[in-house]
Amino acid sequence: MGYTLVYTQVLEFLPYLIKGAWISLQIAILAFFGGMFFGLILATIRSFGNNISNKIVIWYVTFFTNTPQLVQIYFLFFALPEFGILLSPYIAVLLGMTLNAAAYLCEIQRAGFLSIRQNELDAAKTLNFSLFQQVKYVILPHIMRVLFPPLSNHYIIMTLGTSMAAIFGVEELTGRAFNINSETFRSVEIFSITALIYIVITFIATFLLAIIGRYFFKAKIRIIQ
């Protein structure tokens, strides 16, 4: 073993890496909420739509959950310019992750719809709840409680998935680690620090989500698996 760990040289780049982590977080949060919104529309169509619209959603979900996310982003980045649509790396990654998340989050949210208990709604109706009141007092609290844990998990998976953006030259956390690596060649130090930053980000997120889930939605979430 001729390799000695030297962290001093790499630690200078810590602020640079942390700024990269901020970009990773941005991508994860934007893609997650974009995916939630688009996924909700898909789940609504899938639950209440007609035969044809159902089929379209099923194909969409099947396609996006059965092809690698990397390939999906490659397609957006390299194939769309052939049709005259030129996307910046950041936008291509963000769009790719959003479309992919929409497929998964559609299925998660649909499971939430399916878990609504008809007999509670019957009770609410006979107690004269309006549709809005049914949603507010019966449907949403129940759905949030059921959905919060799988949604939190998916958010964490997406946060880590943002490292794919490095391949397209987006200067988020992993991209910046690549940059420093090619300058200093201190690979072990750089990638160990990068991994540590990812752990810190996901740990903070898990912790916050667990608190929100427990106190607002009475969802059961464990912080350490």
Q: Which two tokens stand for residue 145?
A: 């409680």
Query: In whole angstroms, what is the distance from residue 100 CA to residue 64 CA?
Result: 6
Run of H or E including 32:
helix 14-48
Q: Return phi, psi of residue 186, to 5°.
A: -95, 60
Site string for other proteins, 72-111 (x = CB under 8 A): ----------------------------------------
- Residue 51 contacts by C-beta under 8 Å, 6 or more apart in sequence? none
DSSP output for 129-182: --HHHIIIIIIHHHHHHHHHHHHHHHHHHHHHHGGGGGGGT--SHHHHHHHHHH
Closer CB to other proteins, 12 or 122, in the complex: 122
Q: 34: phi > 0 → left, psi -120 to 50 → alpha, else beta; which? A: alpha
Where in 135-164 is the site for other proteins (CB under 8 A)? Answer: 137-138, 141-142, 145
Q: Quick one: 123 or 195, whose CB is closer to other proteins? A: 123
**Residues contacting other proteins: total by CB under 8 A:** 18
Least Å distance between CB 83 and other proteins? 48
Minimum distance of other proteins from residue 217's CB (angstroms)? 9
Provide CB contacts within 8 A for 24, sequence distance 6+: 159, 162, 163, 165, 172, 173, 174, 201
Query: Which residue lies nearer to other proteins by CB, 59 or 216?
Result: 216
Q: Per CB under 8 A, does 128 bind other proteins?
A: yes
Minimum CB–partner distance for residue 54 and other proteins (Å): 21
**Binding of other proteins at residue 219 (CB under 8 A)?**
no
Q: How far is the CB of 149 from other proteins (least distance, A)?
A: 16
3-class state of residue 220 by DSSP: coil
Site for other proteins in 104-123 (CB under 8 A): 117, 119-120, 122-123
Q: How far is the CB of 118 from other proteins (least distance, A)?
A: 9
State the minimum distance, in angstroms, from the CB of residue 18 to other proteins: 40
Q: Interface with other proteins by CB under 8 A: which residues?
A: 117, 119-120, 122-129, 133, 137-138, 141-142, 145, 218
